[in-house]
Amino acid sequence: MENTLGLLNDEKRLKKELIFASLFVMAYESFVSNWKENILGFFANSHGFHDGKVISSFCKPTTDSKGNMVFIPDKKAETVYRKRVYQRIKKTDGNNDTDLSMFDFMVEFGLIDKNDYKHLIDIRKIRNLYSHELVNVLFDKPPANTRELFSELIRIRKKASEFWIREVEIPTSPDEEWQFNEQGKFVDPEWVASTQDLFFDVIITNAMKENDESK
């Protein structure tokens, strides 16, 4: 009770903890959604644009009764993709654990390593605490390694993103100007980062700066 009243009366501390909790959950959700999108795009055999965003799906060409080419859902390809990526690890209730399955696929693909995978398991536990038991965490005490795990999440995100750019995006985008020098020879960039990484870094930097200033 004393800890609860103390936090309620400490406006700066409460704000600091709420901002950090929000950042932690947002960082995890952003990481998961980003890689779901990237991996879908890698496996999908159909890509289009809608409202300025790439839409990836599984379709195959066929002809209609008039001999015109049309595209129909490719259920077989989609099933292979879902089994390969999201049906690798089961929950205790027997259902697929889609997050951990995707992380396991990322290890196989080379995006992250086994230690990163272990960190992501712990990171998800903290995310779940903040998402489902925020009040209890705030008025009790978050796990001692929460800040360290947040740093690990940022590191893993950047590591996976750099691997993806170098091993997937650069080889499949030969027309990008920054890949070649003045003589037209390919140059492997010393440093690469996705637009999302840069945008997310700005959010984190500003939010954490405000937190530090509120001490």
pLDDT tens, position by position, 173-204: 655 555 555 555 555 555 555 666 666 677 77
C-alpha 200/C-alpha 153 separation (Å) is 12
Where residue 2 falls among pLDDT bands split at 50, 70, 90?
Answer: very low
Does residue 1 register a pLDDT over 60? no
Where residue 42 falls among pLDDT bands split at 50, 70, 90?
Answer: very high
* Residue 25, C-beta contacts closer than 8 angstroms, at least 6 positions apart: 127, 130, 131
pLDDT digits (tens, 9 = 90+) for 114-146: 999 999 999 999 999 999 988 787 777 778 899
27: tokens are: 């960082």
Q: Which residue has the higher pLDDT, 40 or 60?
A: 40
Give the global pTM: 0.78
Predicted local confidence at residue 128, as pLDDT: 94
Cross-strand pairs, 72: 60
